[in-house]
Amino acid sequence: MVVEAAVPGNQKQRAATFQALHAGAPFVIPNPWDAGSARVLAALGFEALATTSSGVAFTLGRLDGRVTLDEVVQHVEALVGATDLPLSVDLENGYGAEPESAGLAVTRVAEAGAVGGSIEDYDPAGHLYDLPHAVERVAAAVEAARELGWPFTLTARAENHIRGNPDLEDTIARLQAYEAAGADVLYAPGLKSPAEIRAVCDAVSKPVNVLARPGLTLAEIVDAGAQRVSVGGSLTWTAVNALAAAATEIRDRGDFSSLGDGSGIHQWLA
């Protein structure tokens, strides 16, 4: 069912903006974990945002992979309402192994205001999907995205490198198959070097998202061919680690010197 008539004009504009970003200069898409962090990132000048499954889970006091689709939809609604930026959603495996689940996940977050999303080829039960089944899942997600009647940007993820199987050849084969199935963006989290990134980017024609890591600079990632750079849950853990460090100083030494003063909050949330 095409739902174009029901789509708010600002969502169509966000979708067009997000699509255009993938055809322009390479860009960073940071990952907020709640509405407040989304507002801060928007105020700092970033052009688009993406959710992080681990960050969403943390806001609920859970580990990654333990959030339902309904809860993700609620999270998307909160982030979409917090800024005017395009939002892409980490949809994990689509909250079900069957292709229909991937398609439903796309439809649900689009209805909540998202203009992009990713589907991965790893099952929470602990295994990668066989390639034919993984391709069926991407194809179902692509079909759901196209039925929206406006440009929802679908990212297909090959999870090898963060799931104990750093087989670059298989990763490339998977991404090529997902491109053939219609994915708009391709993503293999866990690539560790410019050489690995370049091998992936040279093997496909669609834009490639790369997960940032402390040992790589933005210039190195872009020079290797990436169009989009995300940070996953890392900003969440940056904030949480700072909280834990300050709280530890209070608990162990009675030292309050690392407490923040919130002096920038009015500027960020204005």
Q: What is the pLDDT of residue 9?
A: 79
Mean pLDDT within 95-110: 98
CA terminus-to-terminus distance, the chain: 39
The rounded percent of the chain whose pLDDT value lies above 70 is 97
Residue 255 CA to residue 161 CA, distance in Å, equals: 41
Note the pLDDT tens digit of each residue in 122-138: 999 999 999 999 999 99
- Count CB neighbours of 268 within 10 A: 15
Count of alpha carbons within 13 Å of 247, Cβ hemisphere only?
6
Q: How confident is the model at residue 270 (pLDDT cuts 50, 70, 90)?
A: confident
Q: What is the pLDDT of residue 8?
A: 75
Q: What is the pLDDT of residue 72?
A: 98
Q: What is the pLDDT of residue 63?
A: 98
> Is residue 7 scored above 80 in pLDDT?
no
Residue 28 CA to residue 211 CA, distance in Å, equals: 10
Q: What is the DSSP string of 142-186?
A: HHHHHTTSS--EEEEE--GGGTT---HHHHHHHHHHHHHTT-SEE
Q: What is the pLDDT of residue 218?
A: 98
Residue 168 CA to residue 63 CA, distance in Å, equals: 28
Residue 250 CA to residue 244 CA, distance in Å, equals: 10
> Is residue 17 scored above 80 in pLDDT?
yes
CA–CA–CA angle 138, 143, 149 (5° rounding): 135
The DSSP call for residue 5 is: G
> Is residue 1 scored above 60 in pLDDT?
no
Residue 88: strand pairing partners? 50, 116
Note the pLDDT tens digit of each residue in 145-198: 999 999 999 999 999 999 999 999 999 999 999 999 999 999 999 999 999 999
Q: What is the pLDDT of residue 71?
A: 98
> Is residue 249 scored above 70 in pLDDT?
yes
Q: What is the pLDDT of residue 3?
A: 41
Please give the mean pLDDT across all residues of the chain: 96
Residue 134 CA to residue 137 CA, distance in Å, equals: 5
| Type of residue at 206 | K
> Do 178 and 135 form a contact (C-beta atoms < 8 A)?
yes
Note the pLDDT tens digit of each residue in 75-89: 999 999 999 999 999
The rounded percent of the chain whose pLDDT value lies above 90 is 96
Q: Hey, what are 188's tokens?
A: 């293999």
Phi, psi angles (nearest 5°) of residue 25: -70, 150
Q: Hey, what are 267's tokens?
A: 């500027």
Q: What is the pLDDT of residue 6?
A: 54
Residue 70 CA to residue 112 CA, distance in Å, equals: 11
> Is residue 215 scored above 80 in pLDDT?
yes
Q: What is the pLDDT of residue 12?
A: 97
